[in-house]
Amino acid sequence: VEDPYGAAAGADAVVLLTEWNEFRGLDLTQIARAMAAPRMADLRNVYPPEDVRGAGFEAYVAVGRPGWTRVNVTEAKPNSISDEGPELVTQEV
């Protein structure tokens, strides 16, 4: 794999283990779209959580910061199905 985008393609999660400059300016939206399940563990706190959320990731964990996950309420509570489809909420973890 030649770059971070290729490494993320089809992945279920990305884990940032370094704060090197080449990982600081990534297009998070491009990475999230390429992933099978866009989840991030940012162990160096490189990206602000709101940037990760805005890029389309479904889960985020970090060191010393609250993490979050998007929960599909319809899957969590089968009786809550509505005509508009599943309700998505964000849950702090």
What CATH number is associated with residue 53? Answer: 3.40.50.720
User: According to the model, what pLDDT value does residue 71 have?
Assistant: 73
3-state SS, residue 90? strand
Rg (CA), the chain: 15
- C-alpha–C-alpha distance, residues 85 and 73, integer Å: 10
pTM score over 0.85 = no
Q: For residue 78, give the DSSP letter.
A: G
Domain count, the chain: 1
Between β-strands 68-72 and 88-92, what pairing exists: parallel, antiparallel or unpaired?
Answer: antiparallel
88, with CB counted inside 10 A (0-12, 13-18, 19+), is exposed
- C-alpha–C-alpha distance, residues 63 and 2, integer Å: 28
The residue segments making up the domain with residue 33 are 4-92
Per-residue tens of pLDDT for the chain, all 93 residues: 889 999 999 999 999 999 999 999 999 999 999 999 999 999 999 999 999 999 999 999 999 999 999 876 444 444 444 455 444 555 666
